[in-house]
């Protein structure tokens, strides 16, 4: 078991070490064989790329459909809001509300177009909430604070 060193002559200096061990087989390929191997590998990659491009195109069409339906839905929402606003604007006062509006206008006319709201409410025998809704629904009557007492309001006929 004595190992004998093999004598070698190195005339080129330090040789680069290859990652190939002597026990591994060395393959030698011609350029056509290498091109064939590469072309087979690229065919598989191209097929995968084609599948992915088809998926992307499909998803883009789905996104376009969703955006279109979203536009339609937002347009429908806008139309619904317009209809609701229109219906609210068409609110017709009842016969008793019309009568109360006429009475309040007459009271203001008799008092020179101005009257404290507390006194008008007392004469009409209405509670604060109903009287406030009546006055806010009338476009030809404005309210402003009484100059002597800011807690009271004055009704003014336009």
Note whether 118 and 80 are same-domain residues.
no
Domain boundary among 91, 116, 131: 91
Same-domain pairing of 136 and 151: yes
- What dihedral do alpha carbons 105, 109, 110, 111 form, nearest 10°? 100
Looking at the structure, tell me whether residues 87 and 118 fall in a common domain: no
Tell me the pLDDT band of 19, cut-offs 50, 70 and 90.
Answer: low
Under the banding of pLDDT at 50, 70 and 90, the label for residue 23 is: low
pLDDT value at position 88?
77
Cα 146 to Cα 140: distance, rounded to the nearest angstrom: 19
Q: Which of 15-19, 27-31, 37-41, 148-152 has the lowest mean pLDDT?
A: 15-19
Give residue 87's pLDDT band: very low, low, confident or very high (50, 70, 90): confident
Q: Are residues 131 and 110 located together in one domain of the fold? A: yes
Residue 44, sorted as left (phi over 0), alpha (psi -120 to 50) or beta, turns out to be alpha
Structural domain of 122: 95-157
Residue 74 lies in a domain: yes
Res 10: pLDDT: 55
Is 15 a member of any domain?
Answer: no
**Domain-located, residue 2:** no
Same domain as 79, residue 37: yes
- pTM of structure: 0.44
C-alpha 40/C-alpha 42 separation (Å) is 6
**What CATH number corresponds to the domain at position 117?**
1.10.10.10
Separation CA 157–CA 142 (nearest Å): 7
The predicted model gives 6-23 an average pLDDT of 58
Residue 12 resides in a domain: no
Does residue 17 lie in a domain region?
no
User: Residue 155: in which H helix or E strand, if any?
Assistant: strand 153-157
Number of domains in the chain: 2
Q: What is the mean pLDDT of residues 23-47?
A: 84
Output the pLDDT for position 6: 60
Instruction: Give tens-digit pLDDT for 95-136.
Output: 888 899 999 999 999 999 999 999 999 999 999 999 988 998
pLDDT at 32 over 70: yes
Of 65, 91, 117, the residue that ends a domain is 91
């Amino acid at each position: 078991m004595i190992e004998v060193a093999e004598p070698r002559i190195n005339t080129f200096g330090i040789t680069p070490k290859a990652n190939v061990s002597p026990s591994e087989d060395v393959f030698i390929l011609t350029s056509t064989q290498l091109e064939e191997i590469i072309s087979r590998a690229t065919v598989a990659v191209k097929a995968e790329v084609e599948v992915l491009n088809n998926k992307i195109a499909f998803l883009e069409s789905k996104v376009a459909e969703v955006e279109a339906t979203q536009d339609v839905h937002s347009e429908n929402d806008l139309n619904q809001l317009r209809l609701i606003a229109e219906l609210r604007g068409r609110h017709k006062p009842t016969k008793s509300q019309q009568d109360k509006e006429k009475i309040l206008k007459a009271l203001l006319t008799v008092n020179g177009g101005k009257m404290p709201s507390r006194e008008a409410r007392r004469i009409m025998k209405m509670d604060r909430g109903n009287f406030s809704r009546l006055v806010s629904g009338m476009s030809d009557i404005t309210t402003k604070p009484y100059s002597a007492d800011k807690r009271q309001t004055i009704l003014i006929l336009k």
